[in-house]
Amino acid sequence: ATTIRGSSITMVLIGFEPQSEMGIPRTIIAGTSRIHNGEIILDSAFSKRHKIQLGDKLRIRDTDFLVRGICDKTNATIAQFSFITLSDARDLIGVDGIVSFFLVGFNHGTPGQNAAVLGEKFPNVSVFAKPAFINNNIVELNTGLLPVVRTISIFGTIISAVVITLMMYGSVVE
């Protein structure tokens, strides 16, 4: 979490190796994707909502991060992703050697074939090809956010119907 203008804001941080091409946000709209320790890339929706610009500093836990990039298309409806170096992410977690996922690219074979090979070589690791990973995230969205939105829509429809009925009744009575 970070504090912006007195409000505590939850952030979703992704740590990546800056020297690698994997994990770097591809749609930088301002600044750079080549960051160093102590620097951060923010999603454009997050930066707009909180009025944060390039060169601003964010304090996350006890560490100041300089905003060096603004990216687009990293918005996950209820959370926007921010990117820091893997080294900084490990320092923030406080435990070295823990990684929640790796993004792996291949020059040959299909994603399904490559995922199967990795799954065989590393049986204690869950390996997903891109389509399966996307599907898993859609399932999470459908079981988390969308039922709440549907419920709100249903209540809105019922309340609208009641209001319209009462307005029509009032018109008839007059």
Does the global pTM surpass 0.75?
Answer: no
Average pLDDT, the chain: 84
Sign (positive or negative) of CA dihedral 85, 89, 94, 98: negative
Mean pLDDT of 63-72: 93
What does the block give as tokens for 25? 């946000």
- Determine the pLDDT at residue 77: 63
Q: Determine the Cα–Cα distance for residues 117 and 56; give it in Å rounded to an integer.
A: 44
Kindly tell me the sign of the dihedral angle through the C-alpha atoms of 75, 79, 83, 85. negative
Q: Is the pLDDT of residue 156 over 90?
A: yes
Residue 139, pLDDT > 80, answer: no
pLDDT value at residue 148: 80
Q: How many CB atoms lie within 10 A of CB 159?
A: 10
E strand or H helix at 15, and its extent? strand 12-16
Query: What band does 140 get if pLDDT is binned at 50, 70 and 90?
Result: low
Position 51 pLDDT exceeds 70: yes
